[in-house]
Amino acid sequence: MNNLFTNTGSSSFTEFLGAYAPDLLPTRAQALAAPVGDQIPHATTIVAATCAGGVVMAGDRRATSGNMISQRDIEKVFRTDDYSCIGIAGTASTGIEVARLYRVELEHYEKMEGRSLSTEGKANRLATMIRGNLAMAMQGLVVVPLFAAYDPDRDAGRIFGYDVGGGPYEQRQYHTIGSGSIFARGSLKKLYRENASAEDTVVTCLQALYDAADDDSATGGPDVTRKIWPVVAVINSDGFRRLSDEEVAEYVQGILDARMTDPDGPTAPLR
């Protein structure tokens, strides 16, 4: 208990945890006998796109273990502080742990220092945490996050991508991660409009998730019978807001109605 009082290191919670209770870090030191990647749940597709004065992030609700659907209503988009959120793809357990630790990391800094980290500071911090997981990633426990934040200095939304070695790579306009990301990115490429309203960008992101679910078996579409909808978050100068199920249901219903007559969804103009 005593080094709670005597620790005078940095304001990083992760560093403190590494010294105080290293067992609690998501990073595991032991090597696995065999890769287990296929046997444990994987989280799949996350999309994010900037909108006028902010950013939108959306994630489907499916987790898969190999060919099995291990969970229908998993949540993969997490609020990390008032102006940022993180979406995770890859090994669900490690990803959730990273997201939880990352939230405490940002808050810890804010409380210790009396100010929030800069947006770049937040993005860099996440890169270090992902890099710490590299050894596990090589054995199949891959975690790749997507980070989105409202930057008060620019009054705009920003998106940062990562790979298993860390990052960050700032993305202009939009980015996707996870197994369905290829299809979602193709969809976003055609549907994304710069400086669109948050409402329109939410529709764009939901269309991209629908297209991903259409072509990727590991991405879940909207589950109308069970009323399981994608998680959608909007961040702007008012802060982080997760849309309620009712709101998302309304957006999804609009998309489903249109797709009844046009199953491939909206088309982009040819010229």
Partner 1 sequence: MSMPFGYASPEQIMRDRAEYARKGIARGRSVVVMQYADGILFVAPNPSKALHKISEIYDRIGFAAVGRYNEFESLRLAGIRYADINGYTYNRSDVTGRGLANLYAQQLGMIFTESIKSLEVEIVVAEVGEEPGRDQIYRLTFDGSVFDEQGMAVIGGQADAVGGRLKERYSEGLPLAQALDAALFALTEPGGERPAPTQLEVAILDRNREHRKFLRLTGPRLQRVLDETAPPAPPAEPAPAPAPETGPPIGPEGEIDTGSGE
Which are the catalytic amino acids? 44
Nearer to partner 1, 106 or 218 (CB): 106
Of 258, 269, 145, 159, whose CA–CA distance to 210 is shortest?
258
Nearer to partner 1, 107 or 247 (CB): 107
Across-strand partners of 68? 65
Amino acid letter, residue 136: M
As a whole number of angstroms, the distance between CA 62 and CA 187 comes to 19
Nearer to partner 1, 8 or 225 (CB): 8
As a whole number of angstroms, the distance between CA 259 and CA 208 comes to 13
Buried b (16+ CB within 10 A) or exposed e, 175-207: bbbbbbbebbbebbeebbeeebebebbbbbbbb
Nearer to partner 1, 16 or 229 (CB): 16
Minimum Å distance from CB 12 to partner 1? Answer: 11
For strands 46-51 and 77-81, give the pairing. unpaired
Nearer to partner 1, 98 or 196 (CB): 98
Buried b (16+ CB within 10 A) or exposed e, 244-271: eeebbeebbeebeeeeeeeeebeeeeee
CA angle 88, 90, 94 (to 5 degrees): 75
CA angle 218, 186, 267 (to 5 degrees): 115
Where do contacts with partner 1 occur on this chain (CB under 8 A)?
Answer: 1, 4-5, 7, 13, 16-17, 20-21, 24, 79, 100-101, 104, 107-108, 111-112, 114
Two tokens, residue 242: 């997760």
First vs last Cα of the chain: how many Å apart? 67
Minimum Å distance from CB 4 to partner 1? Answer: 5
